[in-house]
Amino acid sequence: MVTMGILLGIPLFSIGINLFDGVGDMWNHILEYFLLEYISNSVYLLLGTGIICSILGVSTAWIVSKYDFKYRKLISWLLYMPLAIPSYIVAYTYVGLFGNGGSLILVLQQLGFELQKIEFMNTPGLIWVLSISLYPYVYASLRAMFSNYPHALRDAAYLLGANENKYFFKVALPMAYPALIASLFLVFMEVLNDYGAAKYFGINTFTTGIFRTWTALEDLSSAIYLSAILLVLVFALMRLNRWMRSRRSYAFKMKEISDKGDRRIKLEGRRKYVAYFILSIPILFGLVLPLGQLMHWASLNMEALYSSELWEVAFQSVTLASTAAILILLFALVLLYLSRWNYIKSLNFFSRIPAIGYVLPGAIIGIGIIRSSQEIINFFQDQLGLEVGYLFYGSSFILVYAYIFRFMAVAYNPIEASSLKLGKGLSESSYLLGANRWRTMLKIDFPLIKPVILSTFLLVFIDLMKELPLTLILKPYNLNTLALNAYAYADDERLVEAAWPALLLVAMIGLLMIILNRRTKMNSN
Amino acid sequence: MGTDKYILQIEELSKSYDKKIFALKDFSYKLESGKICAVVGESGSGKSTLLKLIAGLERSDQGQINMGDQILCNDQIHLSPQKRSVGLVFQDFALFPHLRVKENIAFGLAPGSHSKIEQMLKAVRLEGYEDRFPSELSGGQEQRVAIARSLVREPDLLLLDEPFSNLDTNLKSELRHEIKRLIKDLGLSMIFITHDIYDAMDIADEIIFLKEGKIVRQSAITDIFKAVKDKYVKENMEELKRSAETILSMIPK
């Protein structure tokens, strides 16, 4: 467990160690012209997406959990779906929709609006694109929270004279702060991880800066320094998240029994139309319009659908993502069981090291791995006379390793939670009945956590299919994924050609999200 | 309202959730001002529905509820819970977990009512606990906060839903007497529901036995053993007698 923890934590340690090598040649140039911009843009993006995601996520979650209206179930499901479209793809479609001669601009012109374009390729535009792609994190978390409130809380508030507004602002919303803070933290990590959308809109952020410093300026040492500054920002956000949640963790003592029966308030009249209007905004701008634009582009390039290139790329994507997902699950299970069986509890700290990967932007992990792999290659060559460079740069080995570090927490946390929920009682009964640890694991634990393992596989698979920055840094020359393909075409302004890989990616993620949703419902039943 | 003999008058109240089985059927009852009434019944007898209808959390199918000279509900009128002078203490207390004790008590008050909060904390003997969160309180303390929160709004009628079911035996007895003291000191009226006849015997002035949404027996607590006809009530009384005889036989003469 200690070895695994340390091995998987190499990218993180590498950044720390290499800081002592000093700054690179371009550092002064970065310091003078870019650093302030990276910091200010990243802070603006965090603040902007934080505010918009909160407004969109909280309002939609509140409406679908507390009110009843026609198509509520369909709408509440559609509100998750913008998560199926990666933000970099939303970014390209917005240019196709709102740019010069954009599809929606043409429609608006025909309706009599004198518009040439709506400018999205700026910081507020990027804030909107990231918010509309990432608000489902807030929505999902808050919806679960609001739906689980005991009705007695609302009844108590009403009997104490509160109206709906007072109940929302004084009781329901403050009680949801821990969930809101936790989901915003996920949003912030995604914002800091974003490369594709920011690069396409030409906004300099830390992540685009790290790429630029490493590729265009060819200064790996300065890229590591930038990564370290970003790392400080990430850890500061982590501390803030923990501190805010620890101050606001409320024990829920009320029995579920008080919640029985559907007591959503039926919306009628003007309030119903206001609710439909609010709910339609994220669905329209986060799902319908981007998907419509992709379909429009795809229809202009139907021959791509029959080309072998598209399907080869899709096959590579699925193979890579499924291989990595299986490995991630295996590592998560091994780490979990090693920490459960280990009697020296202080060593369990090492099992948490890979979990840090999920909060680290891909660019940091990528740079950390590039740096450390060079040293490993040199070590093998100088000390043992072995050429291992091809293993690092000619295969997907290093990329899969990076995926394991980046996405370990996505697999580890739900499996650990499910295992903790089962408790020790069952395992202990099994031991007392004469079964050893392995038999207990295979015959008792695995069958019981199997549904969660399958759901977790889907969750990790979705994340891997969407992944861009890490894949971009660490991919071998002959590897292509749907995400990379869509990004590469769009980056070359070949938006029509980017449509099919993007559409295929969105369709696959969408389908997996539907399956995941059903599985989650089955598991909870 | 205080001068009326009856604080609460319920006439032919009915409520059904599925239009077939009635949770409450033609229920009529009058509660005198300043009295405590215990509603006893098994699960599903309609006890909780009765409280919810009085509090305005559910709408009745037919019947009328009056409080003093004010109509709370009938075929045309349904006064919202906010407009009824009724306090309800929930079985799980329903304290707002993110608010401190004093904030929970102040929730239904206008800003700046510090002296009222202090008085109420004193009345329920929770001085020194005002800055704690509900999760930092014991079951008995939580219940006192829930009672204080309802009473501080000076309702004419206090309703309690199974107030003692989550408490251990010692605490139960202590709280029963404390609640009775508070209600009598403040000159309020109270209805509480319970499935435990001992709770009713200890603090109620009168008792109602509910079965399948109907009153099967209503009497002053002092007349509880007189002229019992219904099987369910009989069983309860016999159980009570058996317990009393067992205890009496154990006391050395």
- pLDDT, one tens digit per residue, over B93-140 is 889 888 899 999 999 888 888 899 999 898 888 999 999 998 888 888
Please write the tens of the pLDDT for every residue from A179-194: 888 889 889 988 988 8
Please give the share of chain A, as a percent, with pLDDT higher than 90.
Answer: 29
How many whole angstroms separate alpha carbon A201 and alpha carbon A123? 8
Please write the tens of the pLDDT for every residue from A314-335: 999 999 999 999 999 998 888 8
Please write the tens of the pLDDT for every residue from A241-290: 778 777 665 655 555 444 443 478 888 889 999 999 999 999 999 999 99
How many whole angstroms separate alpha carbon A142 and alpha carbon A180? 7
CA nearest to A178 within chain B:
B98
pLDDT of residue A249: 57
Q: B108 and A162: CB-CB below 8 Å?
A: yes
State the average pLDDT over residues B12-17: 89
How many whole angstroms separate alpha carbon A445 and alpha carbon A229? 42
Question: CB-based contact (8 Å) between A97 and chain B?
Answer: no
Q: Closest to A254 (Cβ–Cβ): which among B55, B57, B94?
A: B94
| Long-range residue pairs from B226-234, CB within 8 A, at least 24 positions apart, any chain | B232/B42, B233/B209
Q: Closest to A159 (Cβ–Cβ): which among B55, B95, B99?
A: B55
ipTM over 0.85: no
Residue A59 near residue A255 (C-beta atoms within 8 A): no
Please write the tens of the pLDDT for every residue from A70-122: 999 899 989 988 988 889 899 999 999 998 888 899 998 999 888 888 888 89
Q: Closest to A158 (Cβ–Cβ): which among B81, B93, B99?
A: B81
pLDDT of residue B42: 83
Residue A176 near residue A153 (C-beta atoms within 8 A): no
Assign B86 a pLDDT band (cuts: 50, 70, 90). Answer: very high
Residues from B contacting A (CB-CB < 8 Å) are: 55, 57, 80-82, 84, 86-88, 90-99, 107-108, 133-135, 142, 149-150, 153
State the average pLDDT over residues A369-396: 79
Q: B57 and A158: CB-CB below 8 Å?
A: yes
How many whole angstroms separate alpha carbon B128 and alpha carbon A485? 65
Q: A153 and B94: CB-CB below 8 Å?
A: yes
Candidate ranges A224-228, A350-354, A365-369, B144-148; pick with highest mean pLDDT = B144-148
pLDDT of residue A233: 86
Identify the bridge partners of residue A183 per DSSP, sorted by sequence position: none
Average pLDDT score, chain B: 87
Q: Print the SS3 string covering chain B.
A: CCCCCEEEEEEEEEEECCCCCEEEEEEEEEEECCCEEEEEECCCCCHHHHHHHHHCCCCCCEEEEEECCEEEECCCCECCHHHCCEEEECCCCCCCCCCCHHHHHHCCCCCCCHHHHHHHHHHCCCCCCCCCCHHHCCHHHHHHHHHHHHHCCCCCEEEEECCCCCCCHHHHHHHHHHHHHHHHHHCCEEEEEECCHHHHHHHCCEEEEEECCEEEEEEEHHHCCCCCCCHHHHHHHHHHHHHHHHHHHHCCC
pLDDT of residue A257: 40
pLDDT of residue A311: 92
- Residues of A whose CB is below 8 A from B96: 153, 156-157, 171, 175
Assign B1 a pLDDT band (cuts: 50, 70, 90). Answer: very low
Between A257 and A299, the higher pLDDT residue: A299
Structure tokens at A45: 């993006």
Specify the pairing of strand B86-89 against strand B206-211: unpaired
pLDDT of residue A344: 65
Query: Is pLDDT at B6 greater than 80 in this prediction?
Result: yes
Q: B94 and A175: CB-CB below 8 Å?
A: no
Q: Print the SS3 string covering A18-59.
A: HHHHCCCCCHHHHHHHCHHHHHHHHHHHHHHHHHHHHHHHHH
Measure A475 CA to nearest chain B CA, in Å.
48
Region of poorest pLDDT, from A35-44, A62-71, A239-248, A400-409: A239-248
Average pLDDT score, chain A: 85
Structure tokens at B73: 């509900």
Q: B90 and A161: CB-CB below 8 Å?
A: no
Coil, helix or strand for A216?
coil
Mutation to test the B interface, candidates A160, A177, A256, most B Cβ within 10 Å: A160
Q: B92 and A156: CB-CB below 8 Å?
A: no
CA nearest to A171 within chain B:
B96
Q: B82 and A159: CB-CB below 8 Å?
A: yes
Query: Is pLDDT at B2 greater than 50 in this prediction?
Result: no
Q: A258 and B80: CB-CB below 8 Å?
A: no
Establish, for the pair of chains A and B, how many residue pairs have beta carbons separated by less than 8 Å: 80
CA nearest to B87 within chain A:
A159
pLDDT of residue A253: 53
pLDDT of residue A382: 83
